[in-house]
């Protein structure tokens, strides 16, 4: 029975396979013919063959060009006809056109499965093979699918989409006590994934809470295992600057909540922006970014990145003509905006920005810190990469610094020649090409293997653990944050000492319709208001609060207040502050979880004459 998804007309659509289908193949298969296997160790077929051999599969290399030689200890065969036995699966490392005759040969050979590698798809050949009773998988890698379903892919922050409270031995396709899954369960809800995604009971002790792996390095099985890890031929941990099991749970959880393929966590939100841009940028390149960003991001993009010879064109992202003109300039590598802008609560039109990004062939990067994936999931609206300062709402308690970069896995890094770090051979890995070898895992793999390795902004495992604990209650907290913020915004909007309030849930907000589209559960809990009397009045308001904490953070359980012109946006010019929504009269609130009556009372006292 074909377990691929079907369209209403009954024709097989091989864009979505159930985990049960893939798992059943990888559990049932014992012997594999790898057609197109390469003797070059840095080629994807060699990676896959070596990995599958290590998992106990008997792999026969088939390549008429090198028949009679050996690859990874196995003699190379000229065709399926010369194999010493009938194999269970034929794994095709040839182009899509060549896959047709090979699939037909697999039918004649008596194989039970035809598997076409990443980037290989031939629907006509698949239909013929399925008509003959074979199971068919296309545009997938058995190495990646094995590591995803049996635990290893999680070591590097990829969303395995596996949620289970059972102990499991990582890297084994046939655990003795695991019942076979006969049906595909519906996707788990947000709250379930916020608690369970990425985590499983410790296989040795049974500990249910994620352990804190406070270690700098990890023991190798032997020299061959060490070499495979350093060559990126297998998944696993080497050194804590690159990866850590506690951090990997957090990475997978964030990827799951955002609907992404994988995540790279870093030491802070600022370092996340740097690591996110590293695979995209060369000296002299630039990004196009919204003028309405956190002040520190404007400084980082406009000043500090110049030291790397990276440049930024700041534009009003409400003006799509201006965005389009800036994005068409030579050397542009990305468009960057915040889903919900800090400090003013401005909502970005992500679908319009994605349209411009597609026109010029660059990824759209969205900072989703203020909204969190509970309120907004930018990937659903076209974002290719999502950034977080996990310091804020994700950890949620003001006690753990961190950053995260989520890759949608949807951007085609081969679509043009602008991104050689991912589409061309990487000298540091002996000519390996990340996108060719890892497909939709390439960007996140690069983030760990190059970004964290060379720039070094590693997230501490203790901070990863605290952030995991925070995310478990993210949905509950965001509901209260939003509810409190709406009441506080309504109170301020009617206060005589307040000249304006910028919150997208208010009836007079110019961003209300965009908020309904992109943030249907609420426009967040960070917003600004203007105090009559300008700079001095803003300072008096902040200093007059007793309950609200005066500090430079957002997303805490505690309510926070700040005067951006004298703090977070102080280093900007007057024009930049005005464009960012941080003028002299502006006060920023991050509404917390206290009793809303107490928050309002504190603000009322601070605003009193």
pLDDT (0 to 100) of residue 574? 76
Question: Torsion over CA of 194, 183, 149 and 280, rounded to 10 degrees?
Answer: -60
Strands, sheet with 332-338, edge to edge from the N-terminal-most edge strand: 262-266, 403-407, 385-388, 364-367, 332-338, 286-290, 311-315
pLDDT value at 581 more than 80: no
- 406: nearest Cα among 597, 205, 269, 557: 269
List pLDDT tens digits, range 41-53: 889 899 999 999 9
Beta bridge partners of 385: 365, 407
pLDDT value at 199 more than 70: yes
Compute CA distances 160 → 52, 152, 153, 607, whole Å. 18, 9, 7, 51
Q: Nearest to residue 192, comparing CAs of 517, 405, 474, 447?
A: 474
According to DSSP, the β-strands at 286-290 and 332-338 are parallel
Helix, strand, coil % in the chain, rounded to nearest 5: 40, 15, 45
Checking if the pLDDT of 240 tops 50, the result is yes
pLDDT band for 13, please (50, 70, 90 cuts): low
* 103 vs 122: CA distance, rounded Å: 9
Helix count (H) and strand count (E) of the chain?
Answer: 23, 21
* Separation of alpha carbons 207 and 202, rounded Å: 5
User: Exposed/middle/buried for 405, CB within 10 Å: 0-12, 13-18, 19+?
Assistant: buried
Q: Tell me the CA distances in angstroms from 384 to 336, 347, 371, 413, one per residue in order.
A: 11, 18, 17, 11
**Burial class of residue 399, CB neighbours in 10 A (0-12, 13-18, 19+):** middle
**Alpha-carbon span 210 to 579, nearest angstrom:** 43
Q: Does residue 94 contact residue 36 with C-beta atoms inside 8 Å?
A: yes
Q: In whole angstroms, what is the distance from residue 210 CA to residue 532 CA?
A: 50
Distance CA 466, CA 306 (A): 34
Alpha helices in 439-473 (DSSP H): 442-446, 453-455, 461-471
537 contact partners, CB below 8 Å, separation of at least 6: 497, 531, 585
- Tokens 């944050």 belong to 481
pLDDT tier for residue 409 given thresholds of 50, 70 and 90: very high
Equal CATH topology for 192-198+209-470 and 474-607: no
Could you write out the DSSP letters of every residue in 104-139? HHHHHHT-SEEEE-TT---HHHHHHHHHTT-EEE-S
The C-alpha atoms of residue 137 and residue 100 are separated, in whole angstroms, by 13
Task: Copy the structure tokens of residue 66.
Answer: 């090198």
DSSP secondary structure letter of residue 286 = E
Architecture of domain 192-198+209-470: 3-Layer(aba) Sandwich (3.40)
Domain map (residue ranges) of the chain: 4-148, 192-198+209-470, 474-607
In which band, very low, low, confident or very high, does the pLDDT at 569 lie, cut at 50, 70 and 90? low
Query: What is the DSSP pairing of strand 403-407 with strand 385-388?
Result: antiparallel
Q: Of the spans 67-71, 185-189, 574-578, which averages the highest pLDDT?
A: 67-71
CATH architecture of the domain 474-607 equals Alpha-Beta Complex (3.90)
Tell me the per-residue pLDDT of 435-491, one tens digit each, with 9 for 90 and over. 998 989 999 999 999 999 999 999 999 999 999 999 999 999 999 999 999 999 999
What's the token pair of residue 120? 């290989």
Q: Report the pLDDT value the prediction gives residue 161, as an integer from 0 to 100.
A: 85
Residue 104 confidence (pLDDT) above 60: yes
Prediction pTM value: 0.89
Q: pLDDT digits over 125-182, tens only?
A: 999 999 999 999 999 999 988 988 887 776 678 888 888 888 876 666 554 344 444 4
pLDDT higher than threshold 80 for residue 575: no
Residue 10, pLDDT above cutoff 60: no
User: What's residue 8's pLDDT?
Assistant: 34
Give the pLDDT mean for 327-334. 97
pLDDT tens track for 180-189? 444 456 789 9
- Cα separation, 385 vs 374, in Å, equals 17
Which pLDDT score is estimated for 180? 46
From the CB of residue 82, how many other CB atoms can be counted at a distance below 10 Å? 13
Determine if the peptide bond prior to 45 is cis (ω within 30°): no
pLDDT, residue 203, reads 83
Please check whether the domain covering 4-148 is classified as CATH 3.40.50.10140.
Answer: no
β-bridge partners, 290:
315
- What was the pLDDT predicted at 172? 62
Residue 118 predicted with pLDDT over 50: yes
What is the model's pLDDT at position 558?
A: 97
- Give which of 572, 448, 588 is closest to 531, Cα–Cα: 588
Residue 84 CA, chain-centre distance (Å), reads: 44
pLDDT above 90: percentage of residues in the chain:
78
Looking at 83-234, list the stretches that DSSP marks H as alpha helix, in order from N- to C-terminal side.
Answer: 96-109, 123-131, 142-149, 190-196, 223-230
Query: Across all residues in the chain, what is the average pLDDT?
Result: 91
110-124, 252-266, 564-578 — which is least confidently predicted?
564-578
């Amino acid at each position: 029975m074909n377990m691929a998804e079907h369209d209403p007309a009954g024709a097989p659509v091989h864009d979505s396979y159930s985990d049960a289908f893939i798992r059943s193949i990888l559990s049932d298969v014992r012997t594999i013919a790898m057609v197109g296997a390469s003797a070059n160790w840095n080629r994807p077929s060699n990676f896959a063959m070596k990995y599958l051999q290590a998992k106990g599969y008997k792999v026969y290399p088939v390549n008429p060009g090198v028949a009679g030689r050996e690859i990874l200890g196995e003699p190379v065969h000229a065709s399926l006809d010369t194999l010493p036995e009938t194999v269970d699966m034929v794994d095709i490392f040839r182009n899509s056109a060549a896959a047709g005759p090979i699939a037909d040969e697999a039918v004649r050979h008596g194989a039970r499965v035809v598997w076409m590698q990443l980037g290989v798809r031939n629907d006509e050949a698949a239909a013929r093979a399925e008509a003959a009773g074979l199971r068919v998988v296309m545009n997938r890698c058995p190495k990646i699918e094995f590591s995803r379903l049996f635990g290893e892919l999680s070591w590097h922050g990829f969303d395995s989409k596996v949620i289970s409270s059972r102990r499991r031995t990582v890297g084994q396709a046939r655990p003795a006590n695991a019942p076979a899954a006969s049906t595909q369960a519906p996707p788990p809800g947000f709250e379930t994934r916020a608690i369970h995604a990425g985590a499983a009971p410790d296989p040795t002790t049974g500990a249910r809470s994620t352990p804190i792996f406070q270690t700098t390095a990890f023991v190798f099985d032997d020299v061959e295992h060490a070499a495979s890890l350093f060559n990126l031929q297998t998944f696993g941990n080497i050194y804590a600057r690159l990866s850590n099991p506690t951090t990997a749970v957090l990475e997978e959880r964030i990827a799951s909540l955002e609907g992404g393929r994988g995540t790279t966590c870093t030491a802070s939100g600022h370092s996340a922006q740097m690591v996110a841009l590293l695979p995209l940028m060369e000296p002299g390149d630039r990004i196009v970014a919204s003028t309405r960003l956190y002040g520190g991001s404007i400084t980082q993009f406009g000043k500090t990145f110049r030291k790397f010879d990276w440049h930024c064109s700041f534009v009003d992202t409400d003006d799509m003509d201006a965005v389009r003109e800036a994005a068409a300039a030579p050397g542009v590598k990305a468009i960057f905006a915040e889903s919900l802008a800090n400090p003013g609560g401005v909502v970005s039109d992500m679908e319009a920005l994605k349209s411009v990004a597609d026109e010029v062939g660059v990824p759209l990067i969205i900072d989703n810190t203020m909204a969190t994936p509970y309120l907004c999931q930018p990937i659903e609206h076209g974002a290719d990469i999502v950034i977080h300062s996990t310091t804020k709402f994700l950890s949620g308690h003001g006690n753990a610094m961190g950053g995260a970069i989520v890759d949608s896995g949807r951007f085609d890094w081969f679509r043009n020649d602008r991104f050689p770090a991912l589409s061309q051979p990487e000298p540091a890995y002996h000519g390996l090409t990340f996108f060719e070898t890892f497909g939709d895992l390439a960007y996140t793999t690069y983030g760990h293997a190059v970004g964290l390795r060379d720039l070094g902004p590693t997230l501490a495992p203790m901070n990863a653990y605290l952030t995991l604990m925070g995310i478990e209650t993210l949905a509950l907290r965001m509901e209260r944050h939003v509810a409190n913020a709406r009441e506080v915004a309504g109170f301020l909007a009617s206060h005589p000492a307040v000249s304006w309030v910028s919150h997208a849930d208010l009836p007079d907000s110019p961003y209300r319709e965009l908020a309904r589209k992109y943030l249907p559960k609420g426009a967040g809990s960070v917003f600004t208001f203007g105090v009559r009397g300008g700079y001095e009045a803003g300072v008096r308001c902040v200093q007059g609060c007793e309950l609200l904490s005066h500090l430079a953070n957002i997303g805490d359980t505690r309510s926070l207040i700040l005067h951006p012109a004298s703090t977070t946006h102080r280093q900007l010019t007057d024009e930049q502050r005005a464009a960012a929504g941080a003028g002299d009269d502006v006060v920023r609130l991050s509404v917390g979880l206290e009793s809303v009556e107490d928050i309002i009372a504190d603000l009322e006292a601070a605003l009193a004459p």
